[in-house]
Structure formats: structure tokens, C-alpha cells
Structure 1
């Protein structure tokens, strides 16, 4: 009995003791309130830099960068570059109207009336803490919390840090509007599960953008920043539900919602729909990978948390992908890659690969290195023109040619060059030689101009892969990527000005002249014969165009690269993991540059150019060049039975172009010594 009496006495004394402390706390709080109010009033009229010594302009931003968002040229999202924390800043107009209201109600209910600091909030917090004997309420305003997240992240909390926080908050409040402060806070505060900012949080918990959040969903998010681990709805749904209820009650108390609406929202299920793959999703993965690589080189990894606009033209990308998918459809089919560029700027407008190739560890469009075959003859042609060899020069194209020169011998003896299927091409000028991709003619031209000069031409026109100056370089035995070849052909389309290919909208690629206008015009004229009467007739888009077919020795690589003045594009087809001959595809046996690749190019170019003006190719000054003669070549075969070539939808201009006449010179005969390499040559 006595013991129970003693316990009651102790409890009564403790209550009396707490009461006295509460009274004392209220008194102290009143003094503090007066002091804080006086200080705040003084600082409101003074410059915080002068009074407290902080300098906002010199304080580095320490906010965690978050993910980098890559967008297409029109601003539509392509995907995120993960940085550990997901962050996607958005304007307040792109948020649900309930997010800022709920955040202010639960975090800083007097935000719209007080300044950077809230003296009443500080006093209220102090009283609550003194009465309870522990920390019950925070006193930080939204402005202070923004400063803490943006400028002081990671610093230890102490008196000096609190003073700096207050100083920076006052200065920030003087410079920014309340709306800007609240928007920045909503884009920087941490919501748990690597989500920083409301947009990332909305996708993390509900798989929707912040603008689509309902009242109850916005209330759930608004309650997370105070303790994102404790209130985690994925791990502790009951706790999160209670916290959401507190936010809804705060909204009701602020007269933002009615009691009935509060009750209805409190009864709603959490409705979580987490999507862990959202920030790993990639639209147009081939283009995305290339843009990511270029961004890393351009910024040295300092792009975290930003939005980066790329050069991707979504219409061009869609058309390129559709064309590739139409011809490369079955799982057993080889892969394909296509790159499209704007010759006037170097901007890569599209980079498409066949579906099976998108699971490779490297990007076929920009990182693969495959034999270009006879598409490389373009560089030999340009080099010959640079050395004064005219398009009217006459060359002999026998079925095979033995080239015996010491510097070109291989391990078995002289280099023996064959035309495709050992066809006899006869005697012809250089235009017909390139139009019908005659190996024995271009082997002679390569020796005459020098393999090292061909390599230099290729490099200045855009090829960056290592190239050996071997005699068979003209037949394309060296590995190059579709991006490099598109870049090189784009140099001709721009009249001899090379623009480095770029996947990023800024900075713009600065072009520089690598070929004279005359050289570019003559090469373009000769390459137009490929499409309008040579191995690439299947690519003919119904308007002035130029290009070149290419097929490796064993038909394991097939190319078509071509251009009109507005666009340049290259298509590669082959098996990506091995040099496997393509013996049959869609009725073409074997697959060569003038068959499937040329048709993919055609099926892209026709709709891509629909509605765009027909621009004539640059003309050469001389007249009278003979038109290309028609030969039977694999590239000019008709579509197989049951297939029809898609008809162009654009205006069909007159394809008879003025042809230049140059002084006729005769190239070397088959008896000349010509440099040779041990590697096999290409086919047109």
C-alpha cells in the first residue's frame, strides 16, 4: 500500500516538474520569439552578406545531379543516363496542382506569407520541444530546406552551419520568387528509392508523370521527404498510409480541401505501381547509345541531372527503322544497320538497327567494323580526280588481272584481281568503271594514285578507323562502321565540306572544306551513274541521287551508301558476330550491295523526301561525256518473282544530266606492275 502511495507521489511530482518547465519554456519561447522576430526584421531590410557574411553567388551548388535525360530534336524523351539517383526537373505547370499545395500544407503552412525564415514557426517548435522534452517539430521553412539540399548537402549540422543556412536562405529569398523557390524544392527534395524530385518520385511509385497524380497520390509523396525510409510506402504501407492521412488533414486545415474530400482520399488505397525499368528504358537504342558515348566525351561526365537535346529526327528514325524491319524480319535473317545524316550540318538524324542486333554488346551503326567492299572505291575515285585523272580516261577491265609488283606481292605470289563472277567488262571510261564496280579497273587506278593517298582521302572525308595503305584498299578489305561511311558520303553531298557527325544538338559541328567543289561535283556525277544505270539501280529514289554499292569477297558484308543534296545514308547488312556468307535473303542469292541494302535505302529515301523540293546535283562544266553503258551485274537484277520495287512517291525529274567531256587519257594496261595485298578484294 505504502509503495503504491509512493509511486503516485513520484508521478505527481514529475507532472508538476514538467509543468514548471513548460511554463518556463513558454516564457523563454516568448523571449526567443521576440529576438527572432527582431532579427528577421532587421535582416529583411539589410543585406545578409553584410550582416552574416555569406555569399550566395560564390557558394557552389551541391545538389545531387541525378539522371541525365536525352531527348529527340523535338524535345520528346529518349531515355535516361543513370547517375545513382533519378532526377528529372519539371516546371510547376507540369506537376499536379495538389503537389505544391500538399507540400506547403505539411512542410511550411505559412510559406506564402512569411519570408525566408519563420519566427513564429521557430517559437512554436521550441515550445513543443520544451514541453515534450524531445524534438517534436522542425522549424525549417521550404526556403531553408531548399538551401540545405542545394548548397549544404552532406555538411554536419552545427551552429555555424545553421547560421550559414539562415544567411543563404535570406539571400536566396531576396533573389527568387516564392514560386521559383517552391518549384526548385519540389525538383530537388529526396523521396526515397533513388528518386529526387517529384517527377522521378511519380514514376518510381506510380509509373506516371507528376502532372497525372491524383490528390491522394500527391499527398502520399508530399509526406515522404521528412522521413523517406520510415514512411516508405513500398516497405511500410501502414506507416505511409498514416502519414498520407496527416498530409490530407493538413490540407483540410489549410482549407485547401473539404472534410468530405479528405475522408474520401484517406479511404483510397495506396495504388502503388512501381516500375523499376522506367529509368532504364531506351527509345531507339542504337541512336541512344551513340549519343550517350558522344555526351560522355563532350562533358567528361559532367552532365548529371541535366536534359540534353539530341539531333534525332523522330520521323526519319521511324522511316529508317520501318525500312530495315521490312527487309530484315525473320530471326534467322542477317542483321542490318542504317545511319542518316544531314550533309549541311553533320547532324545524325537517325540510326536504326534490326531488332535482333539491339541485344548485342556493341552498336552496329556506330561501333561495328566491317569490310566495306567496293563501296570503298568511292575514295579511290576521289583520289584519282584529285591527281588530275579525268572521268573520261579509258581503262581496260578484263575478267581477271595479275598484278606483279614487289611491294604488292602476297605470300603466294602476285596479286590476282577478279571481277565479280569473272565478268568481262571491256574497255570503258572511269564513269562506267565506277557505275559497274569493275574490280580490275579500280585495282589499276589504286596503284596509279597510291594506296597511301587513298587512305588519306578516306580519313579526311570522315573515316576514323585504322586503315592500312595496302593495294587492295580500293576493294574495301578494312573494317569501317556505317557511321563513318555515311559521314564520308555526306562530305560529297555537301560539296566537299566535311562536318564531323554529331548526335547532340549543341554545340553545332563546324564544317571545313576537304575537297574542292569541282572534285566533289565530278565524283558526285560519276556516282550518280551507279544509281541511274549501274549496280545500284534498285536504290533509285526517282530524283537526282548518287551512291555506291559494296559487297565483301565472300558475301558476308553488303552495303549501299548514297545521298541526295538534303540527306546522306548508308545501309549495311550482314551477320554481326561472324563473317558468314549471305547465300539467300528474300529471294536474293547471294545478297550483294545492289540487292537488299539498296532496297532498304530506297524504301527509306522515297518517303523521307516526300514533299521536299527536288534539288539537282552539282553540274560539271565540260560537256559530252558518254553515258554509262548497261552491263549485266548482280546489283542491277530485277526484284525476284513475287516482289515489286516500291514506286517513288515524289516528283520524278529528268535523269539525263549534262555530262562532262575531258581530254581522253588511257590508263595502265594489264601488263603494268601494280601494288598488291594478301587480303581478298571486294565486289560491287
Structure 2
């Protein structure tokens, strides 16, 4: 033990023992305080290490809405991707009176504190404890810390501490102007508007630089409670809040005189909300969205695009888009009328083919009566009460749901003269239309249905590019055109428009194909086979080329998907059994109009981002030489005669003739019609030297429209007025297809494919004038078919593009050896 004398001498000798004890206690207290302080500082430093880094603020990149404009850049079509409508703006472009308004109401000592306003916090604490109203103590810097860095709005002490320390760090690393810029671009103003620029456009339809002082004060008052203070919902509350902002600005000297303040206080809030056109070209904008998402592949594509803030200058021509929307809708209503007109004929066919009423049948029945949402129908002595949906699947239900009319029903049971049945129609007949610039692939119009907003009829299913439908005989030109470039071992064309195929009965395994007319025509030149849309010559051409070789030739035409269509190498495919979209078929037809060059269809011309200039680009679609210029032109010549003398003559051909008789000059046109098996889908795809127009109609369900709903007769009357109005939008269209070098012309007989004679004209068979051939492959011999033996004349003008019997499941087909092709 240390002697007491030594302890006394060491701890302040001469000090009174009582004071000495107190001093020792003081030293121990100080030591404990230092230790506690050190621990607190260490804990604080550790706590601050856990705070999010504020380095992200140096590259602040908030979500911005992407906007799509028409081809002029003047008309906005849609806003894409971002739920937040935001336009980033530099603080240098924000007017002083707007900045002053926010400082006056949100943080009047902003320029003087270091992130935390102790005076403001003390006042807020006093008001919250003893005052009549609650106050916040968050500075502008703290609000940025909470919203941008922490991204946490929970009411917790731990969050508030993080907010304070983050604000202090921000003030050390950022200038006041930088903090204001972050604040101005991040805060929420209601109505999906984030940031002052978006708010200025949302409420006043102005650029932020054009805001008046009262308008700036109105916006500055909103962030406290955007919904409750919204001038669109509660103008009185918004005015009171605005006036509070203005009075604060006067008190702080931002407004110089009382007279100026009073003038601002007396100014009414006059809103001018930005007009947003969601209805402009919605199907086209939907395709733009799909393509941008596809280009930015990955699970987070939409989220990534939401950060881009793209401005997209699209290719759409709004005049042409509107024409297509209007004419497609009118045309679909006409098709509905045609479906109604054919119901009596359908009912007779059903009676003979389906016999007596049975469970599980879908058939036509007669409407006996209609009472509100219930309809009584009768079929072969059986009756049923059918419930009608609230949203009827017809364009004109008043013309369809009438006593005595026929209606489709589905029979779920039948017993003792009573049926249980429900309405067979689920949606109205639909369709799509696409217009392409044949020379650059720009999509001038794209319509994917009758009404994009009609959710009861799958309105937002974009039939122009989603899914696909069988093209029927619209598929045939791809094979014929490709065949003209197939060569033999010596490099000579194996097939020309004069090549003859024997249109006679034959079979492939168990499959026995037939022509639409149910008859056979004997020797048939390929020119005639395509004009008249004959099935037998088409199948024999496919087999002569070789199935696998033909599939490769078809897939070259897929300008939308480089991987090609999903094709099966069997003969029925040549008649149009694959599913293709109107957009991809229009892209294929553009090859004919563009001298054999295929171009990827594109919905936009330029994409740029003010946030990421390196991400801006001009679109240059891919091009490929699909056909020789000569093969493309030879096909054009044949398809011109589809309109003049073939399956499009009674509708489109008639319209052209009538217009020419009036003295109107029209560009040359070529086209092909198509109707699938059972008349489920009908098409017409055609083109001028400049544009391609593809239209189809059909139910979304796998069902027939009726025995005579066909491409030429029912889609032709949509195609013609649509093209008519499109051609009136400009006066500088090219009038003629360009004839490439290496082309020779000849008048040929449809039977022999040789040079026509007077006997050919006299026979009643077709003679095709100025048929195009590759130079050296044109016929040199005169027709020997006519005048020698019997022949069968023909004079049909009906639409014959259509039906084909399907090949049996599991049919095996041996591939013939194909010649060379390119």
C-alpha cells in the first residue's frame, strides 16, 4: 500500500482533503465525458459512413418522359415509359422570380445556412409544441437529401438524422446553385408533373422562362400538398397559398413595392393546361414503344428507357394516318354489313352440312324477340333465351339485333325443343392497315384495329404487327418473283412469266389441291397463274423450285425480322398458310416497288436525348438486294394486271378507270388480293412507285366471315378510297415504275406463254400485252395452242384468290432436286 503521505504529496500537496476529493471526482467526470464524447464521435463517424454517397448528385439523372412526335417534329403523339412527367432544366434557365418564390416559402435563409436552419428548427419546435399550427423545419437542402439521396420519406428519427447529416455533406460539396437545380428538377407538383419545367407546361402550357410572378408563386406553393392545393381541383386554396408566397416575397424584398404586391395579389389564377394528344396515332405510338423496348433488350428495358428522356422524331404522316384510321373503320362497318347480307346463304349451307341441332354447334338462329338484355331465338323448332352483353360486339347493333334477323349462337345443350345457348359473336370484325414509303422504309401510317381505346374488343392488341394472320394468295407474288431469279446450271432463267404449268388434277400424298373455282384450266402461263391467283400452277412452281430452296427464298422477304418467318417446307405453304403481320407483308411488297431492294421498315427518323447526347442517333435502316431489278419489275407488270384484269379489277380497277375517265392522272399501281381458307381473313396489298398499302380484315377468333367475304370484293373497297385520299395529300408522286435495263417486252398468250396471235385474241382467253422478261428470255415463237385442237375459253371476272384445302396432318413430302438460284 502507498503511504498516505506519498498520496497527499502526489495529488496536490497542501490542498485541503475535501477539495482534493472533489478535484479527483472532477477529473474522473472529465475523463468519462471525454471517453463518452470520443465514443459518440466514433459512433457518429461510423453512422455517417453508412450514409449514402452524395457523389451520385454529380451525375443526377432523374427519370424523364420520352416524347414521340410526328415526322415534322411539330406534333406530339405520345409520352412513353415514365410515370413521372419530367423535363430537366438548367438552373441558368430558371428565372430569378421563380427561384425567389421557392426560397420565400420553403427556406428563406437558404443562402445563409449550411444545410440545417437552427433558427427555423427552433421556431418549428415551438410552434409544434405551443402554437396553433404545425410547421416543418426541412430546408431546401434537406428536402433534396431526403428525395434524391436517401429516397426515404418515412417519419422516423433515424431518417431525420440521416437527412441532417446528408444535408451538411451536400453543403460542403455542392454550391447553392447546384442544390437549387436539383430541387427545382426533382420536386412533385401533382398531375404527374415533376420539376418546374413539367409543372409550367402542365398548368400553364408555358416554358418555365415565360412564367409571370403570380404563376411562379402558384407553382412554388404546390409542393407542400400538391393534391390539396392543386389549382385544377381547389382554386381557392391554391390562391391563398400563392398569396402567402407573394407576401413572403414582399417581406424578403423580392417584390419591391406594396403596389406591385397588390397587383399580383389581385391577379386571378388563369390555368392553361397543356393539351396532350393521347389519341393521335395510338397504334403507331404503340409500335414506337415496342421497337424502343426491343432495341433496349433486357428485363429492365422499360425502366432504363424511363431514364433516357428521348425525343423521338417519328416517320408518321398524320394526314395519312388519319386517312387510314377513318377508312379502315368505315370499311370494317361495311364488311359487317356484308357479313349480315350473307347470313341467309350461310344458314342454307349450315343446314346441309351440319344437319339437325346438336350440342356444341355454332350456328345461325332466327331472332324471335328482344326484351332488354334478353333475346329469344329459334332454330329448327327449338328455342332459347340468349343473354346479351352490356357491350355488344357490333359496330351497328341496331341493324343486327332485330326481330326476324339471323344471329350467331353457340349451343350448349338441346332437349325437348329447348336449347341453352349464348351469343356466338364475341368481338366485332377487326382489321389493320399499314403504309410504307417504298424507298426508305419509313412507316407513314400504322393502324392496328378499329379503336385503340376499346378494351371490350381487344383494342390495344396491335394487329398491324402483333401476332399474324394467314395471307392467302397475297403470299403468291413472293414465290413468283423469286422464281424469275432461279437459274439453271448454265445461268439461264429457269422460269419466266411465259413458263407454262399444267393446271390439272394431281395430289401430293393424301392432299389433292384445287383452285378456288373448283375447276382446272389446263396449260397456264405463270403470268396468268398470278393474275388469276390459280392454286395449282402455284403449287407446281413451288415443287419445281424445291421446298427447302423456296423457304429460303421466302424468308429473304422478311424485312421486319431478319430471322425470317416460321415456315414449314411443304407445298400448302405456297398458298399462304404461314402467319404474317400486315407490317411484314407490306415490307415484303416494298421490294417490288423499290427495284428489288428490301429495306427494314422503321417508325422513327431521329432519336436524341438532351441528357445523353452520345445516345442520340439518326436512323439508317438496313437494305438488302432481295431480287434482281429485272425480277422485281417483271413481278410489278404482272401485279398491275391483277388490278386491270384479275382479282382486283371489279373494285380497285374500276375506281382507277373511273378516275381516269374524269381526266385525273394517277400513278401506276400494282396489287394482289388474298383470302384464306373458309374466308376467315381477307387482304389487299398494293403499291405505287412510292408507297405500299396493306390492309386486312377478319375476326380475332378463328372463324369465317362468310362464304363470299374476299379480298378483291370486300377489302378492295377499303383499299381504293384509302389510296385515293392518300394520293390527294401530295402532288409530287412518281407516276411510273422505273423500267430497269435488261428488260424486253412481249405480248403473250395466257395458255402457251408464247407470242400472241390473232387466234389467241379470238379464243376468248387472255392475252397479256407488254409482259416483261429478262432480255434474252422472252418468247420468240408464236402460240401454237390456239387453232390446234379444242380449248376451253374463260370469261370469269370474279375474285378467285381464295380457298385451298388444307394438307392432312403428318403428310410426308419428298423434296425434289432444285436448280440454282440467287
TM-score, normalization by structure 2: 0.59
Q: Which residue does the alignment assign to 2:479? A: 380
How is 1:51-450 mapped onto 2 (pairs within 5 angstroms)?
59-61=58-60, 63=62, 65-75=63-73, 76-89=75-88, 99=98, 102-103=101-102, 105-107=104-106, 118-119=111-112, 121=113, 125-130=117-122, 153-154=151-152, 157-158=162-163, 161-170=166-175, 185-192=183-190, 194-201=192-199, 206=203, 208=205, 216-226=214-224, 228=226, 240-253=238-251, 254=253, 256=255, 259=258, 262-263=261-262, 266=265, 281-299=278-296, 300-301=301-302, 302-305=304-307, 306-309=309-312, 310-329=314-333, 331-332=395-396, 334-353=429-448, 355-356=450-451, 359=454, 360=458, 361-388=460-487, 389-396=494-501, 398=503, 401-405=504-508, 409=509, 413-418=510-515, 420-422=516-518, 425=521, 427-450=523-546
1:515 and 2:627 are equivalent in the alignment: yes
**Comparing 514-523 and 466-475, the one that deviates more:** 514-523
1:505 and 2:605 are equivalent in the alignment: yes
CA contact 2:497–2:771 (8 Å) conserved in 1: no
Q: Which residue does the alignment assign to 1:485? A: 585
What is the distance in 1 between the residues matched to 2:180 and 2:718?
Answer: 55
CA contact 2:695–2:715 (8 Å) conserved in 1: no
Pick closer, same or farther for the CA change 1:152–1:163 going to 2, 3 Å: same
Pick closer, same or farther for the CA change 1:425–1:479 going to 2, 3 Å: same
CA contact 1:385–1:519 (8 Å) conserved in 2: yes
How is 1:32-51 mapped onto 2 (pairs within 5 angstroms)?
none
Give secondary structure in 2 for the equivalent of 1:562.
strand
**Comparing 155-164 and 528-537, the one that deviates more:** 155-164
CA contact 1:436–1:535 (8 Å) conserved in 2: yes
What is the distance in 1 between the residues matched to 2:552 and 2:699?
Answer: 29
**Comparing 442-451 and 604-613, the one that deviates more:** 604-613
CA contact 1:122–1:139 (8 Å) conserved in 2: no
Q: Using the TM superposition, give the Cα deviation of residue 496 of structure 1 relative to its aligned residue in structure 2, in angstroms.
A: 3.1
Q: Which residue does the alignment assign to 2:735? A: 614
CA contact 1:56–1:172 (8 Å) conserved in 2: no
Q: Deviations over 1:56-108 (max 9, x none)?
A: 69944352x15433322333221223533332457999999975664465457
Q: Using the TM superposition, give the Cα deviation of residue 320 of structure 1 relative to its aligned residue in structure 2, in angstroms.
A: 2.5
Q: Deviations over 1:135-168 (max 9, x none)?
A: 97868568x9778766665596356523441244
CA contact 2:54–2:170 (8 Å) conserved in 1: no
Give secondary structure in 1 for the equivalent of 2:592.
helix
CA contact 2:145–2:166 (8 Å) conserved in 1: no
What is the distance in 1 between the residues matched to 2:731 and 2:288?
Answer: 27
CA contact 1:425–1:438 (8 Å) conserved in 2: no
What is the distance in 2 between the residues matched to 1:628 and 1:146?
Answer: 82
- Equivalent of 1:535, from 647, 652, 671? 647
**Comparing 539-548 and 255-264, the one that deviates more:** 255-264
Pick closer, same or farther for the CA change 1:247–1:55 going to 2, 3 Å: closer
Q: Using the TM superposition, give the Cα deviation of residue 381 of structure 1 relative to its aligned residue in structure 2, in angstroms.
A: 0.8
Q: Deviations over 1:154-196 (max 9, x none)?
A: 59635652344124423975xxxxxxx8777544322245431
Pick closer, same or farther for the CA change 1:597–1:147 going to 2, 3 Å: same
Q: Using the TM superposition, give the Cα deviation of residue 614 of structure 1 relative to its aligned residue in structure 2, in angstroms.
A: 3.2
Q: Which residue does the alignment assign to 2:385? A: none
Pick closer, same or farther for the CA change 1:91–1:578 going to 2, 3 Å: farther
What is the distance in 2 between the residues matched to 1:134 and 1:508?
Answer: 65
Give secondary structure in 2 for the equivalent of 1:479.
coil
Give secondary structure in 2 for the equivalent of 1:550.
strand
Give secondary structure in 1 for the equivalent of 2:294.
helix
Q: Based on CA coordinates, which of the two structures has the bigger radius of gyration?
A: 2
Give secondary structure in 1 for the equivalent of 2:677.
coil
Give secondary structure in 2 for the equivalent of 1:290.
helix
Give secondary structure in 1 for the equivalent of 2:577.
coil
What is the distance in 2 between the residues matched to 1:448 and 1:319?
Answer: 43
Q: Using the TM superposition, give the Cα deviation of residue 620 of structure 1 relative to its aligned residue in structure 2, in angstroms.
A: 5.3
Give secondary structure in 2 for the equivalent of 1:417.
coil
What is the distance in 1 between the residues matched to 2:706 and 2:92?
Answer: 55
Q: Compare the two structures and name the one with the higher strand fraction.
A: 2
What is the distance in 2 between the residues matched to 1:71 and 1:677?
Answer: 47
What is the distance in 2 between the residues matched to 1:146 and 1:532?
Answer: 71
Pick closer, same or farther for the CA change 1:517–1:103 going to 2, 3 Å: farther
TM-score, normalization by structure 1: 0.69
Q: Deviations over 1:398-442 (max 9, x none)?
A: 4xx43223xxx3xxx331312x33466554432232122222221
Q: Which residue does the alignment assign to 1:624? A: 745
What is the distance in 2 between the residues matched to 1:395 and 1:85?
Answer: 64
Q: Using the TM superposition, give the Cα deviation of residue 447 of structure 1 relative to its aligned residue in structure 2, in angstroms.
A: 1.8
Q: Using the TM superposition, give the Cα deviation of residue 591 of structure 1 relative to its aligned residue in structure 2, in angstroms.
A: 6.0
> What stretches of structure 1 of length at least 5 have no aligned partner?
1-53, 111-116, 174-180, 631-654, 667-674, 680-684
Q: Using the TM superposition, give the Cα deviation of residue 480 of structure 1 relative to its aligned residue in structure 2, in angstroms.
A: 1.4
Pick closer, same or farther for the CA change 1:444–1:599 going to 2, 3 Å: same
Q: Using the TM superposition, give the Cα deviation of residue 293 of structure 1 relative to its aligned residue in structure 2, in angstroms.
A: 1.3
**Comparing 372-381 and 303-312, the one that deviates more:** 303-312
Q: Which residue does the alignment assign to 2:807? A: 677
Q: Using the TM superposition, give the Cα deviation of residue 249 of structure 1 relative to its aligned residue in structure 2, in angstroms.
A: 1.8
Give secondary structure in 2 for the equivalent of 1:626.
strand
- Equivalent of 1:572, from 687, 691, 696? 696
> What stretches of structure 2 of length at least 5 have no aligned partner?
1-52, 128-134, 154-158, 335-394, 397-427, 488-493, 607-618, 657-664, 752-768, 782-804, 810-822
Give secondary structure in 1 for the equivalent of 2:540.
helix
Equivalent pairs, count? 565
Give secondary structure in 2 for the equivalent of 1:371.
coil
Q: Using the TM superposition, give the Cα deviation of residue 366 of structure 1 relative to its aligned residue in structure 2, in angstroms.
A: 1.1
Q: Which residue does the alignment assign to 1:472? A: 572
Q: Using the TM superposition, give the Cα deviation of residue 128 of structure 1 relative to its aligned residue in structure 2, in angstroms.
A: 4.5
CA contact 2:145–2:163 (8 Å) conserved in 1: no
Pick closer, same or farther for the CA change 1:427–1:107 going to 2, 3 Å: same
What is the distance in 1 between the residues matched to 2:704 and 2:147?
Answer: 56
Q: Using the TM superposition, give the Cα deviation of residue 559 of structure 1 relative to its aligned residue in structure 2, in angstroms.
A: 1.3
What is the distance in 2 between the residues matched to 1:185 and 1:123?
Answer: 13
Q: Using the TM superposition, give the Cα deviation of residue 471 of structure 1 relative to its aligned residue in structure 2, in angstroms.
A: 0.9
What is the distance in 1 between the residues matched to 2:443 and 2:548?
Answer: 29
Pick closer, same or farther for the CA change 1:171–1:213 going to 2, 3 Å: closer
How is 1:533-572 mapped onto 2 (pairs within 5 angstroms)?
533-537=645-649, 538=652, 542-572=666-696
Q: Using the TM superposition, give the Cα deviation of residue 228 of structure 1 relative to its aligned residue in structure 2, in angstroms.
A: 4.3
